[in-house]
Structure 1
Amino acid sequence: MPLVTPIPGTPLPHGILNACTTVEDVEDTHELLGVEWLALGCCPVREWRDPCAIDDSPGDESPGEPPVKEFCRPEVEHAAPITLYAGAECGALGWSYDEAVAHAQATMELGEQQALEAAWWSRRLTADAVDLTPEAGPVSVAQGVAALEGCLAESYGGRGVLHVPAGAAALLGCCNLLREDPETGSLRTLAGNCAVIGAGYSAENTGPGGFPAPPGTAWLYITGPVHIRRGPLDTIPDRNASVNIRTNDRRVLVERTYVVGTTCTVCAILVEVCP
């Protein structure tokens, strides 16, 4: 049979490497080893009532200690590196080095978003999320989104990111939970939070602690903003070292390191995906 051009593909348009997140291409290898920062926006802003301006006589009772302003020490947050790779192998006689590199790079381009979603879900989202699932069990998707947005609003004053497995995404349209932002193309809730629809999330679909979702259910998460540092695409090995002289097979590997960070509280809830 004749050899033809491979069937091309396109990553899902609302995945983790799209409009809902900030993706920064970095060259500094030190940042790709992991980063840390002082959390911003997790400390509350409080109202101050001047006791001298309040006309509230305590009578014969002692007024007690005068009110004082509270200070919040910001937490140190961090993000660890995630390295993804794609490898290509074929007989050296039928495959040039450049063809092998091109095939591996195309594989990475199509699959890196899904792989990054799965890795970050299992490493970060499930690690220390607050589980909002009631004792009665999973809730409807609309109830789940409402609970998640309430949880985020109580701990963070800005826009956040809703993380949804692709297998549950269609249910978000049943109640008009999402709308497309005409300027950015992102999906947003009525509260203004962005939504990542992840194929890698569907592959994992685990709750806090890594426990799989029961049949007919899915886990949804919400976080603060998501910032992704992305390193260069490295090709390994060079042209001459790519051939195993014992088997006459050519192997080429491409890999890339990412550092994915978010801030403040991560909340999770189990929702029903079957009526």
Structure 2
Amino acid sequence: MPMCPKPIVDAPTVEPAEYGLFSVAQRPAPEGAHWRCGVRWEPYACDAGDAYGDQCDDPEQEKSIRDGVPLAEADSFSVHDGYLCRLPGRPDEAEIRDRAETQLKLGEQRLVERVVWTGEAGTQTVDPHLADPAAVVLNAVPVPTAADALSLPAAIAALEAYLGANYGGRGVIHAPRLAAAHIAHAQLAAPAGATIRTLLGNAIAFYSGSPNTGPDGSTAPAGTAWLYVTGAVFIRSGPALIIPNAVEAGFNRATNEVLMIAEREYVVGWDCVHAAVLADLDLPEPA
């Protein structure tokens, strides 16, 4: 083998991961800057109303309407990545800044998914999050074991039945990425443009940032996966912030290192529905 220095070349081009949380969420334009403190909203699709019979004999029968509108809310959080390097022989400021921004861009969906699944952001708990004891568990027992797991078709059916009974629109099924091939093999969903949808049109987000934990925080048994369903999901996010805004400000003269961080603020929320089911990933062999 020749003894010569290895030159630095361009890294391979990376294609962003598809069919995750970012593929199913609505991205409304931020309204001013106050969303960074978290937001509240009044959902439309969480009240089923009521029904009455023929009113010809009693046209003035009293109609009951629920008082007020349920108020939903979501907390804010930030994700970041960066570049720490020794300056001699390294790229200029523009390249350092570009590397920090690119690393954040390629990793932030996974970071956001982890926060949305677990609620963990540093020392704080972010709400809403999926693995929350408030989620309605649709298995026969509140804390299911592997023996209580539903087959994948039964699990998807249970989630969509619960969604249909409690929500007036399409929702989102949230699943760990390890469930994707199993769901495809069972022909339970298929790509529809940039989103994967079930037969009923509900979107599925496959999380790279999922630890596959249930509402009680415990990891799913081997061969199973926790799936969640929610109402429509939105994401509000701001521009990437570069901290500090110049290499000189991030230069540590004691170590001859420079640190530049790219950070983005997020708020992720969903309408009213929040249920979970433990699914068995193994399909029975055909008879």
TM-score by structure 2 length?
A: 0.85
Structure 2 counterpart of 1:148, from 151, 159, 165: 159
The aligned length equals: 259
Task: Identify the range of structure 1 (110-119 vs 5-14) with the bigger mean alpha-carbon deviation.
Answer: 5-14
Tell me by how many angstroms 1:231 deviates: 0.7
Q: Deviations over 1:53-99 (max 9, x none)?
A: 38xxxxxxxxxxx9632212321110111200002100012222222
The equivalent of 1:61 in structure 2 is none
Checking the alignment, whether the CA contact within 8 Å between 1:11 and 1:113 is kept in structure 2 is no
| Alignment match, 1:87 | 82
In structure 1, how many angstroms separate the alpha carbons of the residues matched to 2:169 and 2:28?
Answer: 20
Q: Which residue of 2 aligns with 1:112?
A: 108
Which of 14, 21, 40 is 1:16 aligned to? 21
- Give the letter aligned to residue 68 of structure 1: E
Matches within 5 A, 1:104-253: 104-123=100-119, 124-127=129-132, 128-135=134-141, 137-181=148-192, 184-201=193-210, 204-239=211-246, 240-253=248-261
CA distance in 2, matches of 1:138, 1:90: 48
CA shift at 1:168, angstroms?
0.8
> How much does 1:111 deviate?
0.6
Query: How many Å separate the matches in 1 of 2:13 and 2:140?
Result: 44
| Identical aligned residues as a percent | 34
Structure 1 segments unaligned to the other structure (5+ residues): 55-65
Distance 1:247 1:142 in 2: 57
- Structure scoring higher RCO (CA < 8 A, sep ≥ 6) equals 1
Runs of 4+ in 1 over 4 A off after TM superposition: none
**1:32-51 residue pairs with structure 2 within 5 A?**
32-50=36-54
Provide the C-alpha distance between the structure 2 equivalents of 1:27 and 1:44, rounded to a whole number of angstroms.
29
Is contact 2:172-2:230 (8 Å) kept?
yes
Runs of 5+ in structure 2 lacking a partner?
1-5, 120-128, 142-146
Cα RMSD (Å) of the superposition?
1.8
Structure 2 CA distance for aligned equivalents of residues 45 and 25 of structure 1:
31
Amino acid of the structure 2 residue aligned with 1:41: A
State the one-letter code of the partner of 2:278. Answer: L
**Matched residue of 1:195: which SS?**
strand
